[in-house]
Each structure stands twice: as C-alpha cells, then as structure tokens.
Structure 1
Amino acid sequence: MTTSQTVKWRWENAVAGSIAGLSTVTFSHPLDVVRTRFQVYDGRNPNLPCYRNTPHALFTIARSEGLRGLYAGFNPAVLGSTLSWGLYFYFYNNAKQRYMGNQDKTSARIHLVSAAEAGALVCLSTNPVWVVKTRLQLQTPHHQGRPYSGFNDALRTILRDEGWRALYKGLLPGLLLVTHGAIQFTAYEELRKIIIDFRQKQSSCFDKSSELLTTVDYATLGASSKLAAILATYPFQVIRSRLQQRPNTYGVARYAGSGHALQKTARLEGIKGFYGGFTANLLKTLPAASITFIAYENVLNLLKRTKTRD
C-alpha cells in the first residue's frame, strides 16, 4: 500500500468513525442525561433533584421537563461524539500505521499505545464541548440564575464569566480516561484477532472473504470491549462530571480540583459515590458500543469496496 493510499484509508477511518459516533449519540442521549445527573448528585446540591433509579429518572425528567429535558445538551453531544469518534479513529489508525512501520502484524502493545495517543489528542481537542454538554444536561427547572439557552450561549457565557480555563475543567480525569479508550480498543482488536484466527483454523478451505466478521460479531466485540473499559475507568468519569458543573451564584466551584473532588467524594459518599449513574451508563454504553462498531466496520468496508471499484 502506497503512502497516498494509506492517507486515504485514514480519512475513510475518520468518516466511518464520525458516522458511528452520530449513530451512537442519537440512540442513547436520554440515558446520557440521566447518567450525568446521577454522577454529580451528592445530596447537597439544591439544583439537582433526587432520583430513585434509572427508570424513575427517565420518567421524572420526561414528566417535568419533557422531551427537551431528555435531550438536554444534545447539540454539543452530537458535535462532541461525532468529532471525537472521527478524530479517534483517524488518530488511532494513523498511530497504528506509524508504530507498525514495515511490520505486517500488529501486537497488543501497538494497539495500546496507539489508542492512548489517540485518546489524549481527542481529549485535548474536545474538552470544551464536553464542558458545555455537561452544563446543559444539569440544567433543571430548579436551576438558580439565568440558564443557558443553548450551546452558543453557554460557550459565550462561560468564556465571559469564567474565562477560557473553565472550558478545560475536568481535563486531568479526562486524560486519565485515555486508559478507557486504550483498554477498549486493545480488547476489541485482540478479541477480533482471536475470533479470526479461530475461524481460520476451523476452516478447511480458508479464503480471504472468510476473514470478514458478521454484524453479530461486531456487536459482541463492541459490547465486550466496552464493558472491560467501563469497569476499570468509571470513577474518572464521575470526577470529570463533578468538576465540569456550573459554579454557584457567587461564582464558586463546588470542587477546587481533581484531588479535592476525589477526597470529598470518598469522605462523604464512599465507594458508592464513584459509581453514581453506573446502571444508566451500562444501559447507554453497551448497546451504543455495539452500534458504534457495527456502523464503523460496515461503513469502512463500504468505503473500501467503493474505493476498490474506482
């Protein structure tokens, strides 16, 4: 494969990743709203209602806030997810090709390093979008002060009242969450390779077409790799969401930084505090991960077939 062909494939990875991200966020956004509210709820914020569980939260939000409440922060979520997945797949495949060099085969180490590099670059690029999304999702009818009217208003207001640094709140736990993508992609790639190798050995007349996995395979691989990543990294997500909350009416943040959020959560809520919204997160992310990889793999295969015909 020539250098120009490699670059084209990387752009196709980005397009496939963007479409996958858009599919994911459209399907799962109400659960994302519930997850975010559970993550930041500590029983001491009067702006946040108390929900008994995920179904109760969905029902309460739908009844009191309507469809708009269930899709609060949808625009930045679409932008952030589409941009993140597109950049992630692009940076990931770019890094993988670079680390492989002239090798024909990849390894777990290459997958891990490539995923970590891609995650860090995506985090630096998209953190402001996630701050705005979190702020919009946490607005409720009980909100004190002037609410944000939308993405642009929130962005302008944050810059005016808090400065550009506020758009990078939660960056440290966000960077630590790079391990999430690294674990997910490494697990996905390694499990994928195991299945393909197994089917090669089982096939008496193996040909290249039998390498192609089915939609069920992509769904299973996506969900399994996501579960492994969630179990290992979920507390980082909780800390990030808590840091990204809007300051009170006096402009004072609820947490001074990652260390303070970690210490305060552990002291006042225990281990349970680090897993707020975990059920909603599983309901959101496992099917979403399956959809993401189904969309990604199928769009990528379609683009490659189209390119081959051309």
Structure 2
Amino acid sequence: MASGPPRPSSDPDRKRTIPVYMKAVSGSLGGTVEACCLQPIDVIKTRLQLDKSGAYKGIAHCGATIARTEGVRALWKGLTPFATHLTLKYTLRMWSNAVLQSAFKDPETGKLTNRARLLSGFGAGVLEALVIVTPFEVVKIRLQQQRGLSPELLKYKGPIHCARTIIREEGLRGLWAGAAPTVMRNGTNQAAMFTAKNAFDVLLWKKHEGDGKVLQPWQSMISGFLAGTAGPVCTGPFDVVKTRLMAQSRHGGELKYKGMVHAIQTIFKEEGLLALWKGLLPRLMRIPPGQAIMWAVADQVIGFYERKFLIDAPV
C-alpha cells in the first residue's frame, strides 16, 4: 500500500502534527528571503560594534559613509555567507526545535508546556550556534570589517578564501572564535522567540498549530516582529562580545580578549557599560523585521501543508 503524508486522526480531540521536515523547509525559505532584505542593516551593526574611535555617528551616518566611501555594494558585503548561514540556521533551528518539542510533549494529550517550549527553543539555539552560526559569523564579520572594495587591497577575497585563510593562520579553532557568547545569545534568543511566537499567535489570532487556520502574512509578521524584540535587549552584551572575539585574529600577535568573561570586563573598563549594548538599535532594526519576514514565509509554507494534507485530506 502506498504511503503518503500523515492523515488527520479520526479522533477530533487529537492534535494534528506537522512533520519535522516541513518545519525545516519553511525555515529554509524564510531565511533566504530575510537575508536578501536585511543584509545592509547587519553590515551597519557589525561596523558600529567594531567602531572604537567614534568614526560613525549613528546608523544613518554609518550607512551613508559606507555607501559614499566604499560604494553601495559594500552594504551587501558578506551576503553569500550571510544568506547561506541564515538558510542553514533556520533549517536546523526549525527542525531541531520540532524534534525537541515532540520529545517533550505529553504522550497522552500531545500538549506542550511553556517550560518544555522554552527548553526546546534553548536547545535549538545552542545547536545552531555550535554547528552553523559561529563559523559562518566569523567569516561574515571578517569580511564586513574590511574597508573598500578593491580585491587587491583586501586580505580576504571572499567567503571561501576567508575560511581557508583563517584555518591556515589560526587553525580550525579560529572558525569557532566567540562560540561561548554565541551559544548564550542564540540559546536565550530562541527560547524566548519560539515561546513568544506561539503565545502571540494564540493571543492575537486564536491560532493553534494543526488547527487548519492559516494566518495572513501580515498577521504572521506582527507575531514574528513582537516575538523578535525581547532577545536583542537581553542578549546585547553577548552579541557585542561575540563580534569582538570573532573579529580579532590570532595570527601575528597577542589576543586582546582572552574569552567571553575577560572581553566583558575589558569592554566595561575601557569603554563603559553602554558599550556592551553597542549596535543594539541596528539589531532591533534587523532582528524583529527579520523574524517578521521569516515567519510570514514559514507560516504560509506550513499553512499550505496544513490545508492540503491535514485538513482537506480524507480521513
């Protein structure tokens, strides 16, 4: 007998489940669209976080300066690793979160508690940080901190050349610089984001997973935007420290920052408390809109599956 997509149970009280692979596909497509739309804000955020001399007066001044002195294309520096990174990250994030949620669900009722949702999100964030985010962000940040567009003047000629150079000069560990703050940042972010997204869907739109109701893109964008706001404020210091650790090279000199705790202490001592939240505004300009874009795409993909295979399919 031919097998096909899961059919809904004849028990109306049993919660319909969306396959893990569909969550992964939805995240992949959402990440690709997000990367193309929001790369310039990420470049500006990185430049602001690395600016120790006050060369940039703010977001608008930073963007205008980059465009004027390096060309508009410079605002999309690092797009290839950024887009690849986001696509793979969201694929792994949505897949691992779905797997963990399935493991934490009550076997009798199929319900998921808020604590289980938080733990699932945190686990997904830790996994993506170690497997994908850290090495891709090291390459992205090294490319973004270079000034100018002339290849002959740049140390790193592109993503692959950058990765090879880091491995040759600093060893394989160089691609995992800043792993500790990245784990803390991503774990906390995803724990909050998945829990908040579900809560806003239920609170604002009375949407429950598997109920067949497909949110309009603007509804998904509102829920995603709101869910994406808390993380950047809470994890600002981890993000600044991550950027500083990833940007410094182990080749040909002593490392200024010895690790996450030492970096926090050094930045606080030399630049003050607010320096630990450098780049917060561009993060808030990028992450909540990014979540809005990603969820608008992901919810439509998942909604299509729900309509076609969970609701319309015969029992």
The aligned counterpart of 1:27 is 37
Query: Unaligned 5+ residue runs, structure 1?
Result: 44-48, 201-207
Once the two structures are superposed, residues 159-198 of structure 1 have per-residue CA deviations (whole angstroms, 9 ceiling, x without a partner) of 000001111111000111111111111111122222355x
- For residue 187 of structure 1, the aligned residue among 182, 196, 203 is 196
Task: Determine if contact 1:36/1:137 at 8 Å carries over to the other structure.
Answer: yes
Q: Distance in 1 between matches of 2:235 and 2:265?
A: 17
Q: Match of 1:133? A: 140
Match of 2:48 among 30, 33, 38: 38
TM-score normalised to the size of structure 2? 0.86
Identify the range of structure 1 (34-43 vs 246-255) with the bigger mean alpha-carbon deviation. 246-255
Q: Hey, what does 1:115 align to over in structure 2?
A: 121
Judging changes above 3 Å, is the alpha-carbon distance between structure 1 residues 107 and 193 closer, same or farther for their aligned structure 2 residues?
farther
Aligned residue runs from structure 1 range 8-157, under 5 A: 9-43=19-53, 50-102=55-107, 103-126=109-132, 127-141=134-148, 147-157=155-165
Offset, 1:142:
11
For the 8 Å contact 1:111–1:189, the answer to whether it is kept is no
CA drift at 1:9: 1.3
* Contact 2:28 2:91 (C-alpha < 8 Å) held by counterparts: yes
Unaligned residue ranges in structure 2 (runs of 5+): 7-15
**Alignment partner, residue 164 of structure 1:** 172
| Residue equivalent to 2:252 | 250
DSSP-derived class of the 1:189 partner: helix
Q: Residue 299 of structure 2 aligns to which amino acid in structure 1?
A: E
Shift of 1:101: 4.2
Per the TM alignment, residue 218 of structure 1 is displaced from its structure 2 partner at its CA by 1.2
- 1:12-33 C-alpha deviation (Å, 9 max, x unpaired): 1101001111111110000100
Return the letter of the residue paired with 1:185. Answer: F
How many residue pairs end up in the alignment?
Answer: 295
Match of 1:262 among 256, 261, 264: 264
CA contact (8 A) 1:108 1:190 kept: no
The whole-number CA distance in structure 2 between the counterparts of 1:170 and 1:181 is: 18
Q: Check 1:79–1:189 CA distance in 2 against 1; reply closer, same or farther (3 A cut).
A: same
Native 8 Å contact 1:112 1:182 kept in 2: yes
Pairing 1:231-242 to 2, within 5 Å after superposition: 231-242=233-244
The one-letter amino acid paired with 1:160 is R
Whole-angstrom CA distance in 1 between matches of 2:76 and 2:183: 26
Inter-partner Cα distance in structure 1 for 2:88 and 2:260:
25
TM-superposed CA distance for 1:8, in Å, is 7.5
More deviation, 168-177/300-309: 300-309
Tell me the SS of whatever aligns to 1:244. Answer: helix
Taking the aligned partners of 1:239 and 1:7, their CA distance within structure 2 comes to: 39
Q: Which moved more, 1:285-294 or 1:158-167?
A: 285-294
**TM-score normalised over the length of structure 1:** 0.87
Q: Tell me, what secondary structure is at the counterpart of 2:272?
A: helix
1:280 aligns with 2:282: yes
Between structures 1 and 2, the one with greater helix share: 1
The one-character-per-residue Cα deviations of 1:96-123 (angstroms, maximum 9, x if unpaired) are 0111042332221111010011111111
Alpha-carbon displacement from aligned partner over 1:203-223 (angstroms, at most 9, x marks no partner): xxxxx55x4433232111111
Give the partner amino acid of 1:187: A
Instruction: Report the Cα distance in structure 2 between the residues aligned to 1:15 and 1:259, rounded to whole angstroms.
Output: 37
Which range is displaced more, 282-291 or 117-126? 282-291
- For residues 113-168 of structure 1, the C-alpha deviation after alignment (integer angstroms, 9 at most, x for no partner) is 10011111111111211110111111113999851000110010000000011111
